[in-house]
Chain A
Amino acid sequence: MATQIVMDRTGDTRHNFDPKNADALLKAEKRFRELTGAGFTAAVRTASGEAVVKRTFDPNAEETLFFPRLVGG
């Protein structure tokens, strides 16, 4: 089971999907494109625990974290 975690006002929203299911994968890819298009940054956690920023959808990513566009405070 793969997960897309989106940071939001509630803390975070998690979308779990089965990467072997073509429909679910398509939906996850659509969500990825919508979020990154809206300015979110997508970071995938590697096996070693490090975060890697992804510009395109990675169907093999087990966990992708999305956070909103950064702004100066």
Chain B
Amino acid sequence: MPRQLLRNAKERLRLFLSERGRPARVLRDRLRRQPNRIDPSLRFVPDFRYVYGERETRGLELLKERLSPEQFAQYDANCYFEVTGCHSGKRYRISHGTSMNIHELDGAGLPCVGWCFAPKGYLVAGDVMLAQKIALETDERGALAVANKFFVPTRNMHLHY
């Protein structure tokens, strides 16, 4: 009898935590997708609080001025935009960020391979994404020649241990 009660209590607690956890996860994911989200590691840069926001905003303005209307709408809605490689005609998704933010898309529009390259030195996300866009649209081979490839887990992949 006590064992049954304990089991019921555990089940109710699990359901309660599951219900309460869902809105928290949704909120966390939404905050992570915010374009103006500050990378916690940058908090140690001197004067970061005063200068970072302004630099980030300028970089994003520069990027948005140079996106096509379709890319702008995509970026506005999803924090990523897609470009077409000038040599292969392949589609690439550039997500908001400064590294490991480029995904090559397959025929179904799903990420299949990751590519990592960026302009040398410290630049804000807007500048990095703009340089990546121009590089893929004007010199795809040159950009991919310096890039590092990374693995992208696909939805159909099953892991066996």
Contacts and interface: CB of A to CB of B under 8 A. Distances in A.
Nearest to B124: A11
B139 A11 contact: no
Contact of B138 (A10, A39, A52, A73): A52
A11 B127 contact: yes
Interface in B102-139: 116-124, 126-127, 130-131, 134-135, 137-139
Contact of A71 (B68, B122, B146): B146
Contacts of A47: none
Contacts of A39: 120
B9 interface: no
Contacts of A51: 66, 134, 137-138
- Most chain A Cβ neighbours within 10 Å, of B57, B134, B138, B146: B134
A51 B68 CA distance: 11
A25 interface: no
Interface in A23-73: 39, 41, 43, 45, 49-53, 65, 67-73
A43 B134 contact: yes
18 contacts: A5-B62, A11-B54, A11-B58, A12-B59, A12-B127, A39-B120, A41-B135, A51-B137, A65-B130, A65-B134, A67-B130, A68-B119, A69-B119, A70-B117, A70-B135, A70-B147, A71-B146, A72-B147
A8 B51 CA distance: 13
A10 B56 CA distance: 9
